[in-house]
Amino acid sequence: MNDRITYSPIGIIHSPFTEPAGTPIQPPGADGAGGEVEVFTDYAEGLEDLNKFSHIILLYHFHLAKTTPLRVKPFMDDHYHGVFAMRGPGRPNSIGLSVVSLERIDRNILHVRDLDIIDGTPLLDIKPYVPAFDARTKVKIGWLESNVDKLKGTRDDGRFTD
C-alpha cells in the first residue's frame, strides 16, 4: 500500500531545546522545562475550553529525525528492539506524542511545562489528557521494565537525526 497521507501543521512548538542532542527524551525527564505552543490563528477557535484541563497531549512531526531501520537501539538500552516497541523519533512516520502540563493559555499561545520537544517542531494536533480515557492499570512495559529508572538522566544523543 503506497497511499499518501498529508497533514498540515496547526502550529509550532517553542522550547529551550534548540537541537536534538541534550533534549530530554520524555516529559517526566524534562524536569519542568517550560515552553510555548503557538497555535496558528486559523485554529485558535479550537482552543475554547482547553484551559480547563491540566494536561494535554501534543502530537507533532519529528521534523529533524532521519529514517531508521525497523530495529534500533533506543536511548535507555544497549540492545536492539523493534521501532514499534520504543518511542524514539526515528520511525516510518515521524509522529511524536508528549503529555505536557498546561499552565495557561494567552489567546493562541499555550504555556506548557515538562516539554521534551525541540524548538521549531511542527504541531499536528492537541488533545486533552483524560485519566479515565488514557491511564491504564495492570500495565506491562516490556524491555523498559529494567530501564525505566534511567529516564531522569537520559538525554537525546543525536543518534536519530541527520
pLDDT at 147 over 80: no
Let me know how many helices (H) and strands (E) the chain has, helices first: 1, 8
Cell digits of residue 79: 540492545
Buried b (16+ CB within 10 A) or exposed e, 82-104: ebeebebbbbeebebebbbbbee
Q: What is the CATH code for 11-153?
A: 2.40.30.70
pLDDT, residue 86, reads: 82
Rounded mean pLDDT of the chain? 86
Pick 76 or 133 by higher pLDDT.
133
Cα 79-83-84 angle, rounded to 5 deg: 120
At 81, the pLDDT band (50, 70, 90 cuts) reads confident
For a pLDDT cut of 70, what percent of the chain falls above it? 82
pLDDT, residue 39, reads: 98
Instruction: Give the mean model confidence (pLDDT) for residues 8-22.
Output: 91
